[in-house]
C-alpha cells in the first residue's frame, strides 16, 4: 500500500521545503515545520512531519540547510535526514537563477509481526538504511514570482520487496504575488508532484492577504479534494492551517473521517514575506 509521498496543501507558504534552491530568496535564513494527519479515527492512519531550515554563509553566497522528514502508515515508519547547499546567480536587476544539491540517509522499518504473529507471512520485520540525493533549481524575482523543479529524494538503494514504499518524488512548483491595492494582495501558487509508478498530482491554491498579517484561501487538486487555507503572520513568525476534504467523500463509520488536517510554522529572519 502507498500514499502519494509528501504532498502538502501549504506549499505556497513553505516553498523552501519543496524546493531547497528557493532558500536563497531568504537572505537572513529561515526555519519551517509542517505536520499532516489524515483519516482521523483510523488506527494506523497516515501521519507525517517535515522540518526544514537554512542559514546563509554570506562571504560565499551560499545557503546551507537541512531537512528532517518522518512518515508513518500502519506498521511502517520512515525517517529521512538530508543536508544541502544552494547558491543563486543574479541574472538581472531582480532576477536570479538558483541551484541546490544535497544528500542524506533514509531509515525505514516495517513491524509486520504486529499484524499477525501467528501467520508466517508476517514473521519477518524489515529494517534498513539507504542513501539519498537531492537536486533542485529555480528562477525567481524577489517578492514577485518563482518557478522551480526539484527532486528532493532520489534513492541510491531501495528495498522494492516491501509492502509499503515511499518512491522517488519530483516536484514542479511556482507562485507569484499580485498587488491589488494598498491593502489586498493575491498569491496564487501551484505544485505538481509525481511519485515513481504513480500518476501525477496537481495542486492549485490562491491566498488573499488583508494587509501583511492575515491570509485566507482555497485549494483544489486533480484527485477531487478541496482545502481551506489560513495564514497568520506576526513579525518574523508565520502560522498556517489547512483543512482538506473530499466533496464526494463519505464513510460507513461516522467516527472515521477521510479529511486531512495540516499545521505549519515558519520563522524567517528579517520578517515573514507574503511570497
Is 156's pLDDT higher than 80? Answer: no
Average pLDDT, the chain: 85
- Residue 87 pairs with which residues in a beta bridge? 62, 99
Give the dihedral sign, CA 194/195/198/202: negative
Torsion of CA 202, 271, 52, 172, to 10 degrees: 20
In 3D space, the residue among 48, 9, 16, 56 whose CA is nearest the CA of residue 32 turns out to be 16
94 and 110 in contact (C-beta within 8 Å)?
Answer: no
A 10 A CB-CB count for 88 gives: 23
Contact present, 117 and 75 (Cβ < 8 Å): no
Neighbours of 28 (CB within 10 A): 12
pLDDT tens digits, one per residue of 213-243: 999 999 998 878 899 999 999 999 999 999 9
Residue 18's SS3 state is: helix
Q: Look at 79-83, 106-110, 134-138, 184-188 and tell me which has the smallest mean pLDDT.
A: 106-110
Domains and CATH numbers, the chain: 15-268 (2.40.160.40)
C-alpha 148, offset from chain centre: 14
182: DSSP letter: S
pLDDT at 1 over 70: no
> H or E element: which one contains 17?
helix 15-18
**177 — phi, psi (to 5°)?**
-115, 120
List pLDDT tens digits, range 5-49: 556 888 888 899 899 999 999 999 999 999 998 877 777 788 899
Q: Mean pLDDT lowest for which of 32-41, 136-145, 175-184?
A: 32-41
- DSSP 8-state code for residue 102: E
Element (H, E) at 97: strand 96-110
Amino acid at each position: 500500500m502507498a500514499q502519494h509521498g509528501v504532498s502538502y496543501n501549504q506549499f505556497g507558504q513553505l516553498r523552501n521545503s519543496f524546493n531547497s534552491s528557493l532558500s536563497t530568496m531568504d537572505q537572513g535564513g529561515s526555519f519551517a515545520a509542517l505536520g499532516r494527519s489524515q483519516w482521523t479515527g483510523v488506527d494506523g492512519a497516515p501521519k507525517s512531519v517535515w522540518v526544514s531550515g537554512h542559514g546563509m554563509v554570506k562571504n560565499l553566497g551560499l545557503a546551507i540547510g537541512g531537512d528532517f522528514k518522518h512518515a508513518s502508515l500502519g506498521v511502517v515508519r520512515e525517517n529521512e535526514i538530508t543536508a544541502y547547499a544552494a547558491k543563486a546567480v543574479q541574472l538581472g536587476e531582480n532576477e536570479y537563477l538558483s541551484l541546490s544539491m544535497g544528500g542524506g540517509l533514509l531509515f525505514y522499518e516495517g513491524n509486520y509481526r504486529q499484524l499477525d504473529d501467528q501467520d508466517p507471512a508476517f514473521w519477518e520485520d524489515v529494517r534498513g538504511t539507504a542513501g539519498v540525493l537531492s537536486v533542485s533549481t529555480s528562477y525567481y524575482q524577489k517578492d514577485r514570482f518563482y518557478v522551480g523543479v526539484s527532486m528532493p529524494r532520489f534513492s541510491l538503494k531501495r528495498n522494492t520487496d516491501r509492502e509499503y514504499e515511499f518512491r522517488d518524488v519530483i516536484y514542479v512548483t511556482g507562485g507569484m504575488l499580485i498587488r491589488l491595492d494598498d491593502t489586498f494582495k493575491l498569491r496564487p501558487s501551484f505544485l505538481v508532484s509525481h511519485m515513481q509508478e504513480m500518476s501525477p498530482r496537481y495542486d492549485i491554491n490562491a491566498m488573499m492577504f488583508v494587509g501583511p498579517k492575515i491570509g485566507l484561501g482555497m485549494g483544489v487538486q486533480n484527485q477531487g479534494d478541496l482545502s481551506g487555507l489560513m495564514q497568520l503572520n506576526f513579525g518574523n513568525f508565520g502560522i498556517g492551517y489547512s483543512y482538506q476534504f473530499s466533496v464526494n467523500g463519505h464513510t460507513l463509520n461516522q467516527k472515521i473521517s477521510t479529511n486531512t488536517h495540516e499545521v505549519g510554522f515558519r520563522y524567517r529572519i528579517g520578517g515573514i514575506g507574503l511570497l
